[in-house]
Amino acid sequence: MLNRPLLPIIATILILGAGVGFYLVERRPPLPAPATVAPAPMPAATPAPAPAIEHPVPGTPPAASAAASSALPALDASDGALRAALAGIVGADALKRFLVPEDLIRRIVVTVDNLPRRKLPYDRLPVTTPAGGFVASGEGAHATLDPRNYARYTPMVDALRAIDMRSLARVYFRFYPLFQDAYQDLGYPNGYFNDRLVTVIDQLLATPQPAGPVDLVQPHVQYHFADPALEALSAGQKILIRMGPDNAAVVKSKLAELRAALVAAPPASVH
């Protein structure tokens, strides 16, 4: 630490040095102005190429895609048209019971994009949440996933079981330009929603099925899987485990059917 009597001396030296420097610069004969050299133009940045599309929507070359887009309603006004198209496939009763009535395409896109992550935006889901609350058997270190939870998902799984996935894919292809717009609005200007959807389906199909009771822990208010490998799964995979092995088997089977329709449907199925 500096001695206090030295501080005024150091400050004086700095001020004097600055004054002398200023004086010498001002009294020196002016130097000729340097020649002005225009800076070399920076090379134009090469835009990053858009990633290759792995799973193109079949039968939609650019011209056909533009025509399809012009025949669709605007994204923010598409709920009525989409619900009408789904009613003949899902059924009016199931549609009313399980599907949220507004902002459907954006909700579907947000949910699909978040299924592989750790948490879902539950306020943006396109479907209603199962009735009732989560149930655990036992307490503390002896808690397990209660099979009564499985019944909460059964009505929705039964509705899913009755859906023809090829017909569902045809509706999806018809409205695909709006799904793509919603995906780009989400922050993926170069992304391709169908690629994301197939990737998410593949992850869900890879969900492990625990053998026997599923042990739980309750570090705070919410329960967690006791097995670190299960707890590290994505939000979508955890839902498959919570709905029970029988329901999960139905969902996986229907997802496999949908995947086959998404990547191998003939062009005629778009119209």
pLDDT profile of the chain (271 residues), mean per 10: 36 31 34 48 56 81 52 95 94 91 96 96 90 83 89 94 95 97 96 97 96 88 91 96 96 97 59 30
The tally of domains found in the chain comes to: 1
The pLDDT value recorded for residue 133 is 84
The rounded distance, in Å, linking the Cα atoms of 129 and 242 is: 13
- Spatial contact of 170 and 270, defined as CB atoms under 8 Å apart: yes
With tokens 């045809």, the residue in question is 170
Q: What letter does residue 48 receive in the DSSP assignment?
A: P
The rounded distance, in Å, linking the Cα atoms of 55 and 69 is: 19
Q: How many Å separate Cα 154 from the centre of its chain? A: 26
Residue 127 in domain: yes
Residue 247 in domain: yes
Residue 225 in domain: yes
Residue 26 in domain: no
For residue 141, the enclosing domain spans 62-270
Residue 208 in domain: yes
Q: Which of 127, 108, 128, 110 lies closest to 119 in space, CA to CA?
A: 110
Residue 31 in domain: no
- Spatial contact of 248 and 240, defined as CB atoms under 8 Å apart: yes
The pLDDT value recorded for residue 212 is 87
With tokens 């420097």, the residue in question is 21
Residue 10 in domain: no
The pLDDT value recorded for residue 27 is 35
The pLDDT value recorded for residue 142 is 81
In this prediction the pTM is 0.76
Q: Which residues contact 142 (CB under 8 A, 6 or more apart)?
A: none
How far, CA to CA in Å, does 44 sit from each of 40, 48, 50, 87? 12, 12, 18, 52
Burial of 40 (0-12, 13-18, 19+ CB in 10 A): exposed
- Determine the Cα angle at 41 with ends 38 and 45, to 5°: 160
Q: Which residues contact 158 (CB under 8 A, 6 or more apart)?
A: none
Residue 28 in domain: no
The rounded distance, in Å, linking the Cα atoms of 138 and 126 is: 33
| Half-sphere CA count of 194, side-chain side, radius 13 A | 24
Segment holding 136, helix H or strand E: strand 136-137
Q: What letter does residue 59 receive in the DSSP assignment?
A: T
Q: Which residues contact 75 (CB under 8 A, 6 or more apart)?
A: 105, 106, 178, 181, 182, 185
Burial of 269 (0-12, 13-18, 19+ CB in 10 A): middle
Q: Which of 136, 176, 153, 181 lies closest to 261 in space, CA to CA?
A: 176
The pLDDT value recorded for residue 44 is 53
